[in-house]
Amino acid sequence: MRTMTVALGMMLLCACVNRPSVPRADPLDSDWADFERSGLAEVRIERRLYMRPGNPHFLIRVRVTNRGDAVLGVDLRDGGTVLYPNQWGGLSEPERGIIDEAFTKPHTLTSELNARLTADYRSGALTMIPVGGSIDYFREFNASGRDDIDGTDSPYLFVSIKGQLLLTDGVRVQNLLPAADSLYLRTPVAWGTVPASARVVPDWWTGVRRRRD
């Protein structure tokens, strides 16, 4: 009996040791990067940069998916209150070291803002997403274009993501902040062209210049 017990133990040990390992998938191989998920929405950013005819600056593509059980409203009217590219640079590995970056502090939810968003939802002033549906928007970076990006000689590139997304289903109001600090890309970067019918949110400084003019 003792011999059988020892043999069985050896068989179990060998089974554990000989089990083939499963290689871990490289997250940079995925087409989209996850940035936030809540009870109302999932937010992802494509690992591709975009250009728009007649515009010298690159854009990112953000996808918002309704994960709730009611029609979702998202406020895309202001370039400063969406997720946006704030900084970019080359990297020797897909991780930022010392971070030296200035950015605008996101709005906090107040009773006044909650009331305004709820009223805008009811009036149809927000961008509406059906249950289980998604919308994409493109957001411009205000200073660089494809030639700048393609001139990077580093193996990786980061695009810092800042801002927020203001969401409501008419009852709940959420202020989604990016869970990750940056979008990481391999170089050479994949490029696309913004479709003519796409939803483009102008950068915050463009809106400021227009208001000043």
What is the domain count for the chain? Answer: 1
pLDDT at 192 over 90: yes
Residues 6+ apart with CB under 8 A from 45: 32, 33, 35, 60, 61, 62, 63, 83, 161, 183
Whole-angstrom CA distances from 2 to 7, 9, 204 are 9, 11, 76
- Domain extent at residue 62: 27-212
For residues 212 and 198, give the distance between their C-alpha atoms in angstroms, rounded to a whole number. Answer: 26
Please report whether residue 204 resides in a domain.
yes
How is 112-153 classified by DSSP, letter by letter?
Answer: HHHHHHHHHHHHT-SEEE-TT-EEEEEEE-SS--HHHHHT--
- Distinct helix (H) and strand (E) counts, the chain: 4, 14
Output 79 or 6, whichever has higher pLDDT.
79
pLDDT of 151 reads 97
Q: Pseudo-torsion of CA 69, 70, 71, 74, nearest 10°?
A: -80
The pLDDT score that the predictor gives to residue 162 is 94
Which strands sit side by side in the sheet containing 182-186, from one edge to the other?
Answer: 83-91, 156-163, 182-186
Has residue 134 been placed in a domain? Answer: yes
Rounded average pLDDT over 185-199 = 97
| pLDDT on residue 205 | 55
- When pLDDT is cut at 50, 70 and 90, the band that residue 3 belongs to is very low
Average pLDDT over residues 97-121: 91
Average pLDDT rounded to a whole number, residues 202-212: 52
Residue type, 164: Q
Length of the chain in terms of residues written: 213
Report if residue 11 sits inside a domain: no
Average pLDDT over residues 101-121: 93
- pLDDT at residue 204, rounded to an integer: 63
Return phi, psi of residue 192, to 5°: -140, 170
Nearest residue to 82 via CA among 171, 175, 205: 175
Predicted local distance difference test score (pLDDT) of residue 4: 43
144-178 confidence digits (pLDDT tens): 999 999 999 999 999 999 999 999 999 999 999 99
**Does 7 reside within a domain?**
no
Q: Are strands 59-66 and 200-201 parallel, antiparallel or unpaired?
A: unpaired
User: Is 2 part of any domain?
Assistant: no
Residue 100 has pLDDT above 90, yes or no: no
**In a domain? residue 15:** no
pLDDT, tens only, 12-66: 333 444 444 444 456 788 999 999 999 999 999 999 999 999 999 999 999 999 9
Residue 96, pLDDT > 80, answer yes
Arithmetic mean of pLDDT, 128-156: 96
**Average pLDDT of 172-198?**
95
| Partners of residue 168 on adjacent β-strands | 73, 173
* Within a domain: 21: no
What is the pLDDT averaged over residues 177-196?
Answer: 95
Is 69 within the bounds of a domain? yes
* 8 A C-beta contact, residue 180 and residue 212: no
pLDDT tens track for 56-93: 999 999 999 999 999 999 999 999 899 999 999 999 99
